[in-house]
Amino acid sequence: MNAPLRLPELWSALPPALAAAWDPSAPWALLGAPLDALLDALIEAVAPERRVESQLHPHVHLMDDRIVIGKGARIAPSVVLEGPLVIGDDVEIRTGAYVRGGCWIGDHCRIGANTEVKRSILLPEAKAPHLNYVGDSILGRDVNLGAGTVLSNFRHDGKEIVVPDGAARIATGRRKLGALLGDGVKTGCNSVLHPGVIVGRDTEIYPLVQLRAGIYPARSIVKLKQDLDITAKR
């Protein structure tokens, strides 16, 4: 096992199956075999006739039999859901959203109109409510993504994603990895988090910020500073 990363505080609680697989030297590993095992166990434990415990609009598209939807879920027309997928209780998924590729969506989460979520874990009360892309990422409890926030998961050159940690560069072994956001992280509108970003809990990221791969501290404010040149019309 590699030496532990200098991780900030991230999550107060993970589902037991994920907590048991936690490796501080590779927190992104939760998105691999541990996520598969969690989804398989929850889907196999639910009888087919109890697979969907909420009333669904006929124009919600279930593209796989390996889907579990909890009680009180509000899923709008034109939503597309692909398994394996577990959706908790009282989750809201708005019109046009696309959830795919193996996701665990915790209780009371919110996924907005035309948002795409792929191969990700949303801990309870996490929100991706307005035109977001969430790829191969973990959103902590009560995370809120501002409108247009993108959690990018793929380098243009297709190379392995590495996470800088001080002078070291930690190989992840993954070609697709988005962001790991601690509990309570907030992002501003149109912010972009590049592949391999880790943000400590309760940090605020202001609008239009672009974060490169790396580890960002807990309880911080990340601002973009810019100069405006305003001149009179001629």
Q: Is the pLDDT of residue 111 over 80?
A: yes
Position 3 in a domain:
no
Contact 112, 95 (CB under 8 A): no
> Which percentage of the chain shows pLDDT scores above 70?
97
The pLDDT of residue 1: 45
The question of whether 156 is a catalytic residue gets the answer no
- Residue 3 has a CB neighbour count (10 Å cut-off) of 10
Q: What is the largest CA-CA distance in the chain?
A: 72
Query: Considering only CA atoms, which of 35, 26, 28, 22 is closest in space to residue 1?
Result: 26
Position 11 in a domain:
no
Rounded-to-integer distance, Cα 176 and Cα 174, Å: 5
Q: How many CA atoms lie within 13 A of 174 on its CB side?
A: 24
The pLDDT of residue 174: 97
Query: Of the listed 108, 130, 156, 194, which one is catalytic?
Result: 130
Structural domain including 205 reads 16-222
Structural domain count of the chain: 1
Q: Is the pLDDT of residue 203 over 90?
A: yes
pLDDT in tens, 115-126: 999 999 999 999
Contact 52, 69 (CB under 8 A): yes
The pLDDT of residue 50: 54
For 142-149, what is the mean pLDDT?
98
For 96-122, what is the mean pLDDT?
97
For 40-55, what is the mean pLDDT?
77
The token duo for 167 is 């002078």
The token duo for 75 is 């899923």
Banded pLDDT at 136 (limits 50, 70, 90): very high
Position 7 in a domain:
no
- Residue 171 has a CB neighbour count (10 Å cut-off) of 11
The pLDDT of residue 52: 82
Q: Is the pLDDT of residue 30 over 90?
A: yes
- Residue 12 has a CB neighbour count (10 Å cut-off) of 12
For 145-155, what is the mean pLDDT?
98
pLDDT in tens, 51-95: 887 889 899 999 988 999 999 999 999 999 999 999 999 999 999
Q: Which residues pair with 184 in a beta bridge?
A: none
CATH of residue 152: 2.160.10.10
Query: Count H helices, E strands: the chain?
Result: 2, 26
Task: Kindly give the pairing relationship between strand 168-171 and strand 162-165.
Answer: antiparallel
Whole-number mean pLDDT of the chain? 94
Phi-psi category of residue 23: left, alpha or beta, with phi > 0 → left and psi -120 to 50 → alpha: beta
Banded pLDDT at 22 (limits 50, 70, 90): very high
pLDDT in tens, 168-195: 999 999 999 999 999 999 999 999 999 9
